[in-house]
Amino acid sequence: MIGGSGPSGPESVRPGLSRIVSAFSRSGHPEKSFRTLHVAGTNGKGSTACFAYDVLRRLPIAPLGLYTSPHLVAPEERIRVDGVTISPKALRDAFRSAERLSLEGDPLTYFEKMTWAACEWFRRKGVRFVVMETGLGGRWDATSACRPAVSVITTVGYDHREWLGKTLGSIAAEKAGILRRGIPLVTGRLRPAARAVVLRRARRLVCGAWELGRTFDWKERRDGTIAISLPGVDLEEIRVGMVGRFQRDNAAVALAAAWLFASGEGIGPSAFAAAAASALPASRCPGRFCPVPLRKNVGAWVDGGHNPEAAAALARELAVLPPWGKGRRLIAVWSMLADKDASGYLRKLAEHLDGIVAYPLSHPRGAGRGALADACAKQGIACRLARDFPEAWRAARRWAGKGGVVLVCGSLAAAGDAYRHRVGFVA
């Protein structure tokens, strides 16, 4: 693993901006060479970042950067310029440089080193604007040391409670820590308790907020496309390339944020509408409720959601859009991190699954097979155990049978296993 300590190793989460700010200062402030469309949120931020990036790439603002996390297969996935990922050698060199910037006794975390590497790469490539996804939080996230042009909060739900707080309000306050004075904000459909906290901070900082469902929204058309009305531009016949109502929410938030930036750069409504119409049908974010090619009469889907809110969104899609047809068996290849609410996650999905093959992630914080089996038992779901992903995949394919479907779910690490073992591929 690059940098010695992996993304969930002992140095993975240590709140505070002092380390990354010091590293930026002692390296000539690479983070000041560009501005960001800064995306935070409990769920949906990865898809939203990808949607916004794909739209902006079709506008005359190149070179354009993208910084996301976590990676599914290789860390280079996290850093892109105009669609091209950073090379493994360039990332290794950047990590070594970041490690030299660490202060004795208080080294940069893995995520901080990755963030510094991304910013330095963007500076070297002459990038003016970056779509940047936060890590787990907002206020103390290393990406918050960069300069936003637009801030986005997709959703606020219960996740990372050990770091962000136990209540929805406290989690919302951490997410809202990305807001900066005078910088416009775009939000998804926030719950009332979270919305009150976010908007209170936005008013205090004179941000001006566009809210999905209030300032703008999307409507379904008979042909399967959507229409989105944004302040200053109406977008018609937009086809979203990813499945699910929640992805349409993410696409709408991404378009609002991208339009705020683009209009500020002098780009007109017609050029923006053309970019949106060409970008959204092709936009993909691997690991987010997406199909992968059929293998020997067994369909395969992957979803990396890892909390009850994400499971509820997945359950809604399974209820209204069974892509394999009724009467066919649906078997999950499932695993989670030990600090996630496994029982709460399965509670949302239990009625849609015919069975689960559970396996332990090869991850420092992966849940053991016993804990996974216990969570299945609590929800009354038939469960079989496997030693690793390949064994789980083979068992699930047999159990699903001809015409059945295997759904890999529970964690982006599990989704990464699916791509790594060539169930599908990362675009």
Q: pLDDT tens-digit profile of 109-118?
A: 999 999 999 9
Tokens of 187: 């939000």
Element (H, E) at 47: helix 45-56
- Kindly write down the DSSP assignment for every residue of 65-92, as one continuous string: EEE-S--SS-GGGGEEETTEEPPHHHHH
CATH top-level class of 290-420: alpha beta
pLDDT for residue 298 is more than 80? no
pLDDT in tens, 355-404: 999 999 988 889 999 999 999 999 999 999 999 999 999 999 999 988 88
- CA distances in angstroms from 101 to 11, 88, 97, 106, 314, listed in the order given: 16, 20, 7, 11, 42
**Of 111, 161, 141, 109, nearest in space to 340 by CA:** 161
Q: At what angle do helices 110-124 and 18-25 cross, to 10 degrees?
A: 30
Q: What is the pLDDT of residue 195?
A: 96
Tell me how far apart the alpha carbons of residues 246 and 243 are, in angstroms, rounded to a whole number: 8
Query: How many other CB atoms are found less than 10 A from the CB of residue 358?
Result: 26
Query: How many other CB atoms are found less than 10 A from the CB of residue 206?
Result: 9
Residue 291: pLDDT band with limits 50, 70, 90: confident
Tokens of 174: 């951490």
Tell me how far apart the alpha carbons of residues 348 and 193 are, in angstroms, rounded to a whole number: 22
**Of 398, 407, 311, 414, nearest in space to 360 by CA:** 414
CATH annotation of 18-279 = 3.40.1190.10
pLDDT in tens, 80-93: 999 999 999 999 99
> Where do the structural domains in the chain lie, given as residue ranges?
18-279, 290-420
CB proximity list for 94: less than 8 A, separation 6 or greater: 86, 116, 117, 120, 121
| Single pTM value for the model | 0.91
Backbone φ/ψ region at 221: left (φ over 0), alpha (ψ -120 to 50), beta: beta
**Of 331, 319, 323, 330, nearest in space to 359 by CA:** 331
